[in-house]
Amino acid sequence: MAKKYFGTDGIRGKVGEQPITADFFLKLGWAVGRVFANEGKGFVLVGKDTRISGYMFESALEAGLSAAGVDTRLLGPMPTPAIAYLTRTLRAKAGIVISASHNPYYDNGIKFFSVAGTKLPDDTEHQIEHYLDSTMTTVDSAKLGKAKRVDDAAGRYIEFCKATIPTGFDFKGLKIVLDCANGATYHIAPHVFSEIGAEVIAIGCSPNGLNINDASGSTKPEKLIAAVLEQQADLGIAFDGDGDRVVMVDHKGEIVDGDELIYIIAQSRLTTNKLKGPIIGTLMSNLGMEHALTRLGIPLLRANVGDRYVMEMLTEHQGILGGENSGHIICLDKTTTGDGIVSALQVLAQLHETGKSLHELKSGMEKYPQILLNVKVEKRVNPAEIPAIQIAVKHAEQTLGENGRVLLRASGTEPLIRVMVEGVDTTLVTDLAQQLAKVVQNAITA
């Protein structure tokens, strides 16, 4: 059954526009409270990133939960994966994250974790939506929920992160630049990496409510590249606003994206005989990663775009490693969700084990040029149902052969057809992408 409010990763939008309003979050807190109050006593964790609207939505959720008779534990600014971890280890009924991830400050959203530290199952989201469309009530005053702050949340999560790599590893002499995007990792990541012995230069660690993801972080690593080169650092690490994504920069100032990081972590698990199942990528994962993994004897399976779908395939195929080229990486042998800090630590562990630089570690994988063009459409259409487009796609695939790939898909959020072509030859890939985009535009217009 289709959901009215929940998307593939919670609810997100512009602050002040439905459903990202204080009154909706009040009702949402009450609806969540009603669902979990039915399961008996317990509390719900609430954390957020650093955007200014988090204060408003935190208070609204707390009030709604209280009205439903459920206690709240407030975490304050914490990375999304930290809230997943704390929900599990503190045995909370659920964890709530107030965040719009890599979006600008004027957006916000909400997502949930179960007591197991994973995304809520569909039936629970349907139950929440049932109460959202019901009349809000308040329990008797004696049964109202109480709220208090979890004072040691940051320390708990810092220790957890460090414990995901061997205690004997000493990174003394390693110089790292960290870009925390003025987001939720600002008071966590510098401690984690300095406490394992590295010399840390931190940027993007001065949040003011308005500068989260502003020309910084994993989606805009230009400042990190400049800082790595200026400081002559060994590498740089950038997180997004809520800390579930990571990209890195090597000592030459070259970006190491999610696909390359997954390849490095896969190598680590393979050499220690700890790799289980296939690697799960997405439809957008670079063909170069697939070929590099094949050379190692590791199969790659592709899920639809979105960490929820990656997780579903990992579970189905009993894998432990997967993710997206955006840097959303899931290491199920270490944690239950995508975690930027934990993923970066796994890469550092491989640096330590091999004695190689980040630049050397990524060299086993050659990223193929990938051209992505967006074609605007008046209404949503399925390109697979238009013969002229399919003929053009087949021609492009035959031209590329085994050294290339074509993907056309309708956007799930915008009236766009996304045309992606990748292959060895940049000129050929660009020409084919432009030709396909023109065919798509003409076919849809006709």
Instruction: Provide the 10 A C-beta neighbour count for residue 232.
Output: 8
Spatial separation of the C-alpha atoms in residues 239 and 227, rounded to whole Å: 15
Q: How far apart are CA 339 and CA 242, in angstroms?
A: 10
Of 66, 101, 216, 285, the catalytic one is 101
Is-contact 258 343, C-beta < 8 A?
no
Measured in residues, the chain has a length of 446
User: What is the C-alpha separation between 421 and 405, in angstroms, rounded?
Assistant: 6
* Cis preceding-peptide flag for 299 (omega within 30 of 0): no
Give every strand in the sheet of 147-149, ordered side by side. Answer: 11-14, 107-113, 94-98, 43-48, 71-77, 147-149
| Nearest partner of 317 among 336, 301, 293, judged by Cα | 301
Long-range pairs, 12-18, Cβ under 8 A, ≥24: 12/100, 12/101, 12/103, 12/107, 12/108, 12/109, 12/110, 13/107, 13/108, 13/109, 14/106, 14/107, 15/53, 15/106, 15/107, 15/108
211 phi, psi to nearest 5 deg: -105, 10
Phi, psi for residue 353 in degrees, rounded to 5: -65, -40
State how beta strands 246-250 and 235-239 pair: antiparallel
E strands in 150-294: 175-179, 199-203, 235-239, 246-250, 255-256, 279-282
Q: DSSP readout, 28-73?
A: HHHHHHHHHHTT-S-EEEEEE-S-TTHHHHHHHHHHHHHHTT-EEE
101 is catalytic: yes
Q: How far is CA 108 from CA 48, 49, 404, 422, in A?
A: 10, 9, 38, 33
Residues assigned a catalytic role: 101
